[in-house]
Amino acid sequence: MKIPFTKMHGAGNDFIVVDDRERMFPLNDSAFIVSIAAHRTGIGCDGILLIQPSDTADFRMRFINPDGGEVDMCGNGARCIARKAFELGIASVQMSIETAAGLVRATIRGEQVELELTEPKELQLDLPAELDWPVDFVNTGVPHAVAWVEDLETLELPGVGKQLREHRLFSPEGTNANFATVEADGSLSVRTYERGVEAETLACGTGAAAVAVLAAERGRVSLPVTVHCAGGFDLVIDSVHGRTTLTGGAVTIFEGMVEYGNRV
């Protein structure tokens, strides 16, 4: 079986997007998912996005991590899948998306895609994480811990990111680990160690939203605020009618086919 796919990225987060309205994608074959997600030996991605039918929205989004595990939500992924659904004629400029985290809405705004996230929850400040920096937490669709650091560039992220991601405070599922700073101009910069990827990614949409929400809660910024991601792209976080929004580009890189079955 040949599976058509589109490779996309949102702010540097790259995804394999599959129109799975016929529900043919082998969700339970974790070995296949790991193989195509590998950056050096497969297509390479930070996650696999499936467009599936929905009884409550224009379509349902499924998000699969590179390790084969499914998670509730991905902000940049949702923006990319919204762009693809619009291009396929599945949804109009304004659309609703069913996710495991709840219903979200997206709007195509030219080259940008605005995503209305689920309401932030479980917000906690100054957690006892035994790190050298203040650590906060909020769930913006998936869990995010945020450590407020002074120097992002010299941060040894693989080690400290894994430490925070696996901290006992967030057991047993763990958390995404973000390290952020407030810039002199009032913008934010962030680096993220993503759960399921188990490495730093060039961006994380729900992570950028978490950083902005927590910085606003601390009184250090006001929304809307620009968040600078590790890959050099910016995301804008705002609050519209009480809902957190995430806005940025969603770009098609290439399209292709991947073979499933008859593998050695």
Q: Are residues 168 and 235 in the same domain?
A: yes
Domain range for 27 is: 2-118+249-259
Q: Are residues 132 and 184 in the same domain?
A: yes
How many Cα atoms are found within 13 Å in the side-chain-facing hemisphere of 181?
Answer: 12
Structure tokens at 74: 């991905």
How confident is the model over 222-244, as a mean pLDDT?
Answer: 94
In the predicted model, what is the mean pLDDT of the chain?
95
Name the region of 119 (left: φ>0; alpha: ψ -120 to 50; beta: rest). beta
Residue 264 lies in a domain: no
Q: Are residues 57 and 144 in the same domain?
A: no
Q: Are residues 80 and 147 in the same domain?
A: no
How confident is the model over 52-76, as a mean pLDDT?
Answer: 96
Q: Are residues 140 and 226 in the same domain?
A: yes
Q: What local confidence, expressed as pLDDT, does residue 241 receive?
A: 80
Q: How many CB atoms lie under 10 A from the CB of residue 238?
A: 16
Angle at the Cα of 228 from the Cα atoms of 82 and 119, rounded to 5 degrees: 50
Look at residue 14 and tell me whether its pLDDT is greater than 80.
yes
Residue 127 lies in a domain: yes
Q: Are residues 140 and 220 in the same domain?
A: yes
- What is the tens place of the pLDDT at every residue in 189-227? 999 999 989 999 999 999 999 999 999 999 999 999 999
Residue 50 lies in a domain: yes
- What is the tens place of the pLDDT at every residue in 127-161? 999 999 999 999 999 999 999 999 999 999 999 99
Q: What local confidence, expressed as pLDDT, does residue 240 receive?
A: 84
Residue 84 lies in a domain: yes
Q: Are residues 218 and 255 in the same domain?
A: no
| Residues recognised as catalytic | 74, 204
Q: Are residues 208 and 196 in the same domain?
A: yes
Q: Report in angstroms the alpha-carbon separations of 147 from 98, 99, 144, 259.
A: 30, 27, 10, 42
SS3 219: coil
Domain count, the chain: 2
Q: Are residues 102 and 139 in the same domain?
A: no
How confident is the model over 116-125, as a mean pLDDT?
Answer: 95
Look at residue 92 and tell me whether its pLDDT is greater than 50.
yes
Residue 8 lies in a domain: yes
Q: Are residues 95 and 205 in the same domain?
A: no
- Amino acid identity at 221: V
How confident is the model over 218-238, as a mean pLDDT?
Answer: 97
Residue 202 lies in a domain: yes
How confident is the model over 54-74, as a mean pLDDT?
Answer: 96
How confident is the model over 72-98, as a mean pLDDT?
Answer: 97
Exposed e or buried b for every residue in 61-83, given b needs 16+ CB within 10 A? Answer: bbbbbbebeebebbbbbbbbbbb
Q: What local confidence, expressed as pLDDT, does residue 77 receive?
A: 97
CATH number at residue 160: 3.10.310.10
Q: Are residues 174 and 92 in the same domain?
A: no
Q: Are residues 16 and 100 in the same domain?
A: yes
Q: What local confidence, expressed as pLDDT, does residue 264 receive?
A: 39
Residue 188 lies in a domain: yes
